[in-house]
């Protein structure tokens, strides 16, 4: 019998994987790595990571914070492979200084996030959340909703998620205007009703705005940009919590400038319930954009491949 060589440990922390495993993780074991999941179904703290990550050669990481303090202890670590596209939670500079390769599962959850953005849009426009709560509590609350045919969806960021969202909106006979500092020239030809516009035109002309972009040094949704919006605009954020100035958005909700806000992205999970998040015109979902069976399969396969390609 051929002896299996142990090439080192690989830490797996995404909650969708650590709770019940995944068939694609077997590829790591077959390649000679020991897969460890010491935090099943929970997001590890910095202290917990510090206790196990320094002994690992590879790391299949979730959304937990990976600080420079932790990485500087990890002399054996060669690869961090995210099962998503965001790397905001990882100190990329510290990883580079330690010679640790940082990999992402590009595009793996794009369709799942886009479908959630469309779902949240329709939920806001038909006031599904309040209606559901009312009927379950013996009431009969009814809100006159809006149909999306002919309405304008503003999409900020036209990467894969933004493009999927635009295609779905076009299928609902919506007009789509988009802003991206690096536009994709062929999109206006490929998607009916699609055009690129300036960021100011997007804010002033959209009935619904959906965020699909990374966060910058200051919030994109602030008092200035909200001041450009028409009264009764809806806002959807499946991207980053840091895109939104919470106080400015809360004021816009109270004034009716923003008619409803739906968000699937938070600084911490679960989030601290601020006045904005507790507002009755706000819908919260628990970071479920990429939490579909298909997205998990694609992301896990990509993350495992990235680990093996860079480790071996």
Long-range own/partner contacts, residues 15-21 (CB < 8 A, 24 or more apart): 15/41, 15/42, 15/43, 15/62, 16/62, 16/83, 16/291, 16/296, 17/60, 17/83, 17/296, 17/300, 18/42
Q: Which residues contact 102 (CB under 8 A, 6 or more apart)?
A: 80, 82, 87, 90, 92, 95, 96
Structure token digits, residue 38:
């010491």
Strand 56-61 to 79-82 pairing: parallel
- Give every CB contact of residue 64 below 8 A, 6+ residues apart in sequence: 13, 43, 44, 45, 49, 89
- Dist CA 15 CA 256 (whole Å): 38
Is residue 27 classed as helix, strand or coil in its secondary structure?
A: helix
Closest by Cα among 290, 284, 230, 291 to 261:
284
Which residues are known catalytic residues?
240, 269, 287
């Amino acid at each position: 019998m051929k002896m299996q060589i142990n090439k080192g440990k690989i830490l797996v922390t995404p909650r969708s994987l650590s709770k019940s495993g995944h068939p694609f993780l077997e590829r790591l074991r077959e390649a000679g790595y020991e897969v460890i999941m010491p935090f099943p179904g929970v997001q590890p703290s910095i202290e917990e990571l510090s206790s196990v990550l320094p002994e690992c050669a590879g790391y299949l990481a979730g959304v937990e914070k990976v600080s420079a303090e932790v990485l500087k202890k990890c002399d054996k670590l060669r690869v961090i492979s995210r099962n998503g596209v965001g790397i905001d939670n990882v100190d990329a500079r510290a990883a580079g200084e330690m010679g640790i390769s940082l990999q992402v599962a590009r595009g793996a959850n794009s369709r799942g996030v886009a479908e959630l953005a469309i779902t949240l849009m329709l939920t806001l426009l038909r006031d599904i959340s309040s209606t559901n709560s009312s009927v379950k509590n013996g009431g009969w609350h009814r809100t006159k909703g809006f149909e999306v045919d002919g309405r304008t969806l503003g999409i900020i960021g036209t990467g894969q998620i933004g493009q999927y969202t635009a295609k779905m909106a076009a299928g609902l006979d919506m007009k789509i205007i988009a802003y991206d500092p690096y536009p994709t020239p062929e999109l206006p030809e490929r998607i009916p009703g699609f055009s690129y516009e300036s960021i100011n035109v997007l804010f002033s002309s959209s009935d619904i705005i959906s965020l699909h972009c990374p966060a910058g040094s200051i919030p994109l949704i602030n008092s200035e940009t909200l001041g450009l919006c028409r009264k009764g605009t809806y806002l959807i954020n499946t991207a980053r919590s840091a895109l939104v100035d919470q106080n400015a958005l809360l004021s816009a909700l109270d004034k009716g400038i923003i008619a409803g806000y739906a968000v699937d992205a938070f600084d911490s999970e679960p989030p601290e319930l601020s006045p904005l998040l507790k507002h009755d015109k706000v819908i919260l979902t628990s970071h479920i954009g990429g939490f579909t069976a298909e997205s998990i399969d694609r992301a896990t396969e990509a993350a495992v491949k990235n680990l093996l390609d860079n480790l071996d």
